[in-house]
Structure 1
């Protein structure tokens, strides 16, 4: 696995357009890989920080050529407009009991049950069929809801981040995206989490680091990055 970082030039008009549309950015990331090559699951995340805007891409192969993405949205005049590093050292460092600083952009959602259009009330037709119910994903939009979403999933994902009364991580950014995808409009609620986690199940956390956390991975959610943490 490889983690690639590409600095984005947010002053360019084309960049402002792609930054506002995760579907378009997904297409730009996918275009880094030729169709003849299978990079496996590809996850990406945009970080808008004080020192710049950075695109992170995690793939089983380093992008063989990010030239088109850099020429359209980056800084092509620099000698090394993108950098790729092997991801295995990060996975090897994930050991039970270790603490890490982390950053994650996620799509916190809940499933709301609602009747299906073709529902059949039990007994209505005399067939004894049970009413069919389907779940609809609804995004959490408040900080409290989003924090609770991650806290309640942390243990099954192989880590802890404190509890409701004293969490060791919190929401540092949240946004509701509305963008076009083909002939329909997509609305997506995202939250960026930052803080300290403690590894409780190294195997599960390693697997999640590769597979992603939560839904909407094609739209820049689910990629967690780790950095070493030492208690003061």
Structure 2
């Protein structure tokens, strides 16, 4: 039997959508519509996002979600601003692929790592 592991993850659950109002970009001779990141605000969307991120190496056993205050930021060099909506995930997982699990612990999960998101903290259950 594989051991259960408790985890904590502060993450910025988002989805990426095409936004034609942002224009297009050319890559390798093809034209693409620019995309934007949109926060997932509903608990069921946030849980589905996390399940998708963990599905290949550690399915969820239990989960508690805690929404956090919005973080606003400004990119001075680019002259634009934005916001991230972080969520604190606490729960228990069972690791099914140790190599991929180790890789995800090392690289982090999801975007906004510069704002402290993506760190998967683990402990024995």
Same fold (TM over 0.5): yes
How large is the Cα RMSD of the aligned pairs? 2.3
Q: Flag the structure with higher strand content.
A: 2
Report the TM-score when normalising by structure 2.
0.83
Q: CA deviation at 1:109?
A: 0.6
Q: Which residue matches 1:217?
A: 113
Q: Which residue matches 2:96?
A: 200
Preserved contact between residue 155 and residue 200 of structure 1 (Cα < 8 Å):
no
The equivalences for 1:42-57 within 5 A come to none
5+ unaligned residues in a row in structure 1: which ranges?
1-95, 120-128, 163-167
Report the TM-score when normalising by structure 1.
0.47
Preserved contact between residue 74 and residue 81 of structure 2 (Cα < 8 Å):
yes
Q: CA deviation at 1:130?
A: 7.0
Distance in 1 between residues matched to 2:81 and 2:19, nearest whole Å:
21
**SS of the residue aligned with 1:222?**
coil
Distance in 1 between residues matched to 2:95 and 2:113, nearest whole Å:
23
Q: Which residue matches 1:172?
A: 66
Q: Which has the higher contact order (CA 8 A, sep 6+)?
A: 2
1:153 and 2:49 matched: no
Change (3 A) 1:184 1:131: closer
Runs of 4+ in 1 over 3 A off after TM superposition: none
